[in-house]
Structures are given as C-alpha cells and as structure tokens.
Structure 1
C-alpha cells in the first residue's frame, strides 16, 4: 500500500502546530520528533477497509497482519466492500487465513455496513466518544480498535489509546527508565501533550518502530 513517489501524502492540517507544541512542552518528544522528519500520520483506506484491517491485525505482529491481509484481499478483492465480504462468507474467510473468530467479526462488520447500522458519513462531525460508542457495538471492535480508527481514518488529534501495548512500552522506556507503567501514570505523562495526544502517540510508536503501520 505505497503511494507513487511523485504524489506526496498530505499531512493533517494540525500536524505542524502539534509538533511545535510537543517539542516545546515535552523534553522526550523534543529528542524523538526530529529523528523522524518528513513522515506523519496518513490515512489511505475507506472506513470499512480501515476497520477490517484493524480487526485482521488484532493481537498479531505487523508482519503477520500484513500477510493475512494480503490473503484476505486475494479472497475478497483489492478494495474490499461489505457486499464482497458477505458473499465470501465465514468459510471463505477462514480459507483466506482468518481465525474463526476474526472471520465472524469481519462478517459482522460487513453486515453492519451493508445494512446501514453504522453511519460513517456522519462520523467526521461526531465527537470522539460518540463514534467510539457506535463502533464498539460491532462484534470484534473494542475500544482499542475504535481508537485506532479515530487515529488512522478520522485523524482525530487528541486520542490517547491507553490499551495500546506499544504506547505503554514507549512511555515505560522513555519516561520511567523501563519500569512498568500504569494507565494512570501514562495519562499523567500525556497531560503535557494536550490537545495533541494522537501526535505524541504516533511519534512514540515511531521511537519503537520507524516504519508506520498502514490502515
């Protein structure tokens, strides 16, 4: 899922303001951010594809998720649609490498979209928590997956995914000398990042893995 070299991916309109704030307010990010120039949060998929990819990638490594996703799109088409996923069915998704549970989850996602039980056309204007409430009604989508959607698809600027192991690991490494970190401690660290917690999170992920995940 790479773009052509002559078509730069636009950065979110708030990115430069957020970077300036974080460099000024946080001594750790002041060191990390300059190590990752000319990269920023990008959004490439439709809401359905972003959510399907997030479900496929749950609890497995980025490399494994990419492999399963490639099998998935081979089964349902390069631009997966809810109708194509429903037509493929759970057994077809199982044959493409998804676990039984993930196959059922992706089917439920496709059904929600196909039957218009969710309203992606309204999400851009809805508050973060309202979007999360609508998403977590879908099987297989918990708060973490909903927050990944808010970050990678809607590009909301102030998401702090406290269930994300990578974020907690980066906070532990950079702010607590590698000691285990609680959600409370992570939230305390994030106070200096407001209102740009998404951007801080993204750079802390980069500190662990320079290659951005694509949804």
Structure 2
C-alpha cells in the first residue's frame, strides 16, 4: 500500500490516529519518506533548526521539510536526536 492508502485504512480503526500511523510507517515498515507533522519533538526541532519564533503549523512543516524529501523519516530522526542533545525533550 502507498502511504496515503495505509494512513486512510489504519485511521479507520478506533484509537489509531495519524501520529500512530506515521510512527508505524517509520519504525516498523522502515519507510524513508514519512514526515510526522504532528510530532512535538520534530516540530520543536524544526523550530530551533530554522530559528522560528513559534512551533510550525502542519502546512509550514510540509513547506520547510520539502527539501528533506525523499528522506524525511531520517530528517525526523535527526530532529529527535537534536532535541535530545539540547535537553528539550
């Protein structure tokens, strides 16, 4: 299944949301190009990396992280590690 079909299918299950599906695609399916726009750690990392005053909104995340394509999962991992190193999370 492609990412959109998988997201649509799995979010039909009660209790499974977009964030859960993104984590499943990144860590279980090892998909290289998933951007979890709702993940707080990734959003905080993008905020610090790009010097933003506020947490980026989903549309802004898409625009800012477009240059990471086709390895947005890797970029997300780096944002988590960046936050870890900064002691933010």
What are the equivalent positions in structure 2 for 1:146-165 lying under 5 Å apart?
146-165=21-40
Q: Aligned Cα RMSD in Å?
A: 1.3
What are the equivalent positions in structure 2 for 1:1-215 lying under 5 Å apart?
126-177=1-52, 179-180=53-54, 181-209=56-84
TM-score by length of 2: 0.86
Q: Which has the larger radius of gyration?
A: 1
Deviation beyond 6 Å, 4+ runs, structure 1: none
Give the aligned length: 84
Give the 3-state SS of the residue equivalent to 1:155 in structure 2: coil
TM-score by length of 1: 0.37
Q: Distance in 2 between matches of 1:138 and 1:208?
A: 31
Matched residue, 1:58: none
Give the 3-state SS of the residue equivalent to 2:15 in structure 1: coil
Q: Distance in 2 between matches of 1:202 and 1:182?
A: 19
Q: Distance in 1 between matches of 2:39 and 2:70?
A: 19
Q: Distance in 2 between matches of 1:209 and 1:187?
A: 22
Q: Distance in 1 between matches of 2:2 and 2:77?
A: 21
